[in-house]
Amino acid sequence: MSTITFAPHVTLSSPRPVRLTRRGRLVVFAFGVLLAFALGVWFAAGSVATHEAGVEQVEVVTVAPGDTLWDIAADAAATTGESNVGDMVDRIKSLNSLDSSMVYAGQTLRIPTD
């Protein structure tokens, strides 16, 4: 008596590379755009608006001959109702990026109005 054995021949084929059609590429692109938009909305949701203005209201003043920063600050303090002229001098120096209290005739200064 004879026996026959069948040994199945198994070959492992390498997987085919994925190929996208034109519609598939469009779907992937649209998904990426929507994902970027969703992330932008999510990150923007963290920003909070406040009632305070981000920019201080100012008036532009030209320095006349003989004016000092203290005189200009005293006038501005009287207009805004601030009692301390020294604080107004500091605000004017800060607004105009001044290193000293020296001002020149014809120079324009931003003066806080609030």
Identify the CATH number of the domain in which residue 85 sits. 3.10.350.10
Q: Is residue 42 part of a domain?
A: no
Q: Is residue 41 part of a domain?
A: no
What one-character-per-residue DSSP string does 72-103 give?
HHHHHHHHHT-S-HHHHHHHHHHHHT-SSS--
Q: Is residue 75 part of a domain?
A: yes
Q: Is residue 43 part of a domain?
A: no
pLDDT at 45: 79
Helix (H) / strand (E) element for 37: namely helix 22-44
User: For the chain, how many structural domains are there in total?
Assistant: 1
pLDDT at 53: 60
| 13 pLDDT more than 90 | no
Q: How sure is the predictor about 108, in pLDDT bands with cuts at 50, 70 and 90?
A: very high
Q: Is residue 65 part of a domain?
A: yes
Digit-coded pLDDT (tens) for 23-68: 999 999 999 999 999 999 888 877 666 666 666 788 999 999 999 9
Q: Is residue 94 part of a domain?
A: yes
CA separation, residue 25 to residues 5, 29, 68, 109 (Å)? 50, 6, 69, 58
Provide the domain limits for residue 94. Answer: 58-112
